[in-house]
Structures are given as structure tokens and as C-alpha cells.
Amino acid sequence: MRVQDMSRRITAEFPFVERFDEVAAGLPGAGLHWLDALRRDSLDAFNRVALPSTRVEAWKYTNLKDFAKTPFDIAVSGEGDPSVDLDGAGAGGPDAEHRLVFLNGRFDAGRSRAGSVREGLTVLSLGEALRRQAQVVRPHIERLSPLEDEALLALNTAFMMDGCVVVVDDGATVDRPIELIFASDTRSPTSAHPRNLVVAGAGSRVALTETHVGIGPSEYWSNPVTEVVVAAGASVVHRKVQRESPRAYHLANTRVTLAERGTYRAFLMSVGAGLSRCEIEARLEGEGADCRLDGIYLARDRQHTDITTRIVHAEPGGSSRQLFKGVLDGRSHGVFQGQISVSPDAQRPDGHQLNKTLLLSNEAEIDTKPDLEIYADDVKSSHGAAAGQLDELESFYLRSRGLDAEEARQVLIRAFIAEVVEAVEDEPFRNHLNASIDGWLSHEAAARETGT
């Protein structure tokens, strides 16, 4: 065991971690020898590594100290409160062809439409997949874990509760987006550890939409891990809306690998949670792979929102684009860390990254850190970061045409993020986004009205 510098770690004593044996016995796949061993190894890894402190470079701006003190447990019930209405939670509505609902991390079969296997497509809950097709799931889950210095990922592997497994066969096209809803409704501090796997076969096409919401009065922690495998020439669109309740901790990890000519397009909207961090890693492991990450973050009050991306150009001719825009009000704190790393073999890659933040109050803060690690020649790469305030002259221009100050402000905030919203091709999802943005803006307006 490596000797750890204690200032780099935060030891947490989460009750559910201490009760591992008892909890693990009730988790999906219990009794599968390889999985039991993997969970055990991952737990050891978590206990060894512990949570990162702000002394760890990647966590410099996001402090987990208060989080670590919360006595999180794990939800035991499988079904959740049947009266909770989740019909309107996602972009596709209750009629989505494939809709998987997870309540407090557990698969909620009653609210889901899954298991439907049609030509070329398998959509299952992780629990079901482990029962029916463990051999498909196993190599992926084993590959991703456990990793040094990845405490949250290790903990997810140790406690993975459920999640979705989507497998698209070679050449298949899935027309309608697969909808995933992760909802929390808890009365005491509870954690959920969803684990999702998306495997897009060669030349296949598929789109997914994830929505994360919270209803209950208590603090909770969502720790989802999603692995996406994009085979040669496949195309995956992955959209996510994080609108957890203000008492939530949302710490998400998305890991993507792309083979040659594979494309991955992600859109992230981060608007909820008291503290959130969405980490996305995309590895371009085949020639000519193409990755695009876009996102919006909106925060107010004391919200903390962190977006951390890492794009690895491992092979020649790949391209990556990132555009993230944020609006911060109150005493909120935004973090954008974008790492682009180009390995020596990856000649002629093309990597671009842009992050812009609109600061609506003097107390709001953004830490933005572009980080380029380039070991190759002939690289086309750019990054930019900017933060600014609403433009007085633009606001005056609008008001001189009769818009009131609040209207002008909303028009300008919308205009600031319009570029990212308009790049979303799927219309229902774009409408869903716009509705979330409207909700955020009118809450803003009301809060300003009452002076809170």
C-alpha cells in the first residue's frame, strides 16, 4: 500500500460503507462470484484512497469537506413512493418508447418501459442484464474499476445499485431517444449509485436522454457512473439534464471511448443540486473519431457547479469541440476544468474548447482552467475562457424600446446561452431545455422581486 499524504484526502464515515456486507447482499448481481469480488476490491480501493481534498489538483476548486460529514445511507426500498409523479420529469414524456425510471437508485419497473428488445436493440435494467446477459456486462464493468485516485468511481462500483444497459447491434439505428430518469425522494440523507452502460455497435446510431431530479425534503447524494462505448463508425448522442433539488450532491462520472470514425455528441445542462460535479472523460482511441461536448450551467444562491472534462486524443486525425456557457448569480460558484491531452501518436488532431460565464452578481465566482497537454506535432488546438457581466448598453437599448428592466435582463441572459441551446438538434429536447431555462429565469425574477 502506498503511503498517502493525509492532507490530500478526506476520510468519510458513511454508515452504508461500514455496513457493506449487509448492503451488498441485497444489490443486483449478488452471488455472481466475479461481481462480489469486484465490489469487495472496489470497497478496499475506496477505503485506501478516500475522498480527494482540495490539495488534489483535479479537486482544487471543489471542496467535499461538508459533503463528507453528511451521514449518508443507502435506500433500501425497491419501488419508492407510488404517489410521486414523474410523468413530466423527462424530455420524452411518459410515452417515450424506452423509458427507464430509477427511484433512489433502484429500478422502478412500474414506472418504466424497458425490457423491450427489438431488432438490434437491447434495453434492460442492470439487474436484469446481470441475470440474463452477465457476460456482456462483465468486461465493461471490470475494465472501468477500480482505479487509483478515483474514490467516487470505486464507491460506485462497490455499491452499484442498478442502472441501464443499452446494447445496439452493429448497423442498427434506434430512432427515438432512450429516456432515463433518475429521481430521488428521501426523508433522510441517502445515497444512490447508479451504473449505466451503453454499447453502440459498429455503424449503429442511438440517442439517450438522462434527467436527474429530486423531490424529497432531505439531503441526498447521487453518484452515477455511465460508461459509453462507441464502436467504429457508430454515433451516440447523449443528453443530460441535472436538475436535482437544492439539497442534493450530484457527483457524476461519464466515461466514453470512441473507436475509429466513431462520433459522440454530449449535451449537459447543470442547473440543480447544492453541489454538483459532472466529470466527462472521452478517449478518442480510433483514427478520425469525433467528439463534441456542449453544455450550460446555471447557478444561484450558494450553489456550486463543477464541470470537468478530459479529452484524450490517442490516435491520429481525431477532432473534439467543447462549448460550455454558464450563468451565475447570488453567491454561486462555478468551476470549469477542461483538459485536452494529445498523445505522441495522435498526429493532426483538432481540439477546440470554449468556456464563457455570465456573472450576474458581484459575489458569484467562476474558476475556469483550460489545461492542454500536448505531446504531438501538427496540432490544431484552441481554448478560450471569458467571464463578464450583463452589458449596460445592451440593456439600455432594449429598455429604450419599452422592455422593462427584468425583461431586458432575461432577454440578454437567454441570448448569452442561445448559441448552445440552438445547437441542440432534437426539437422536443430543445423545448424541454427551454422550459427548464424559463423556470430558472422566472425563479430568478421572483427572488429578485422579494429581495432574497
Partner 1 sequence: MLEIRNLHARVDERAVLKGIDLTIARGEIHAVMGPNGSGKSTLAYVLAGREGYEVTEGTVHYQGTDLLDLSVEERAREGIFLAFQYPVEIPGVAGTTFLRTAVNALRKHRGEKELDAMQFVKFVREKQAELNISDDMLRRPVNVGFSGGEKKRNEILQMALLEPKFAMLDETDSGLDIDALKTVADGINALRDPARSMLVITHYQRLLDYIVPDRVHVLAHGRIVKSGGKELALELEKEGYGALAGAEAA
Closest to partner 1 by CB, 46 or 416: 416
CB 358 to partner 1: min, Å: 11
Site for partner 1, rule CB under 8 A:
392-394, 396-405, 407-408, 411-412, 414-419
- Closer by beta carbon to partner 1, 9 or else 356: 356
Q: Could you tell me the three cell numbers for 413?
A: 441572459
Is residue 368 a contact partner of residue 339, using CB atoms and an 8 Å limit?
A: no
What is the tally of helices (H) and strands (E) in the chain? Answer: 10, 24
- What is the full DSSP assignment across 83-120? T---TTSSSS-TT-SEEEEEETTEE-GGG-B----BTT
Report in angstroms how near the CB of residue 449 gets to partner 1 at its nearest.
16
Q: Which is nearer to partner 1, 405 or 446 (CB)?
A: 405
| Least CB distance to partner 1 at residue 405 (A) | 7
Per the structure block, which three cell numbers stand in for 13? 464515515
Radius of gyration in angstroms for the set of CA atoms belonging to the chain, rounded to a whole number: 21
Which residues, other chains included, contact 170 with Cβ-Cβ below 8 Å and sequence gap of 6+? Answer: 201, 202, 203, 204, 231
Judged by CB, which is closer to partner 1: 362, or 400?
Answer: 400
Which of 385/421 has CB closer to partner 1?
421
Task: Identify the CA nearest to 407 among candidates 422, 394, 426.
Answer: 394
Kindly give, in sequence order, each residue whose CB lies less than 8 Å from that of residue 353, ignoring residues fewer than 6 positions away. 320, 321, 322, 323, 338, 340, 370, 382, 383, 384
DSSP 31: T
Q: Which is nearer to partner 1, 45 or 417 (CB)?
A: 417
For residue 336, the minimal CB distance to partner 1 (Å) is 20
CB of 381 to partner 1, least distance (A): 25
In this complex, which beta carbon is closest to partner 1, that of residue 119 or of residue 392? 392
Residue placing its CB nearer to partner 1 in the complex, 376 or 390 = 390
Rounded CA-CA distance 175/119 in Å is 12
Least distance CB 296 / partner 1 (angstroms): 13
User: Which CB, 34 or 396, lies closer to partner 1?
Assistant: 396
CB of 250: closest distance to partner 1 in angstroms? 28
Q: Which of 136, 251, 130, 234 is nearest to 182 (CA)?
A: 251
Q: β-strands 121-125, 164-168: how paired? A: antiparallel
What phi, psi does 391 have (nearest 5°)?
-85, 125
**Residue 420 Cβ vs partner 1, minimum distance, rounded to whole Å:** 10
Say how far apart CA 299 and CA 410 lie, in whole Å: 15
Host H or E run for residue 350: strand 350-359
| Minimum distance, C-beta of residue 149 to partner 1, in the bound complex (Å) | 40
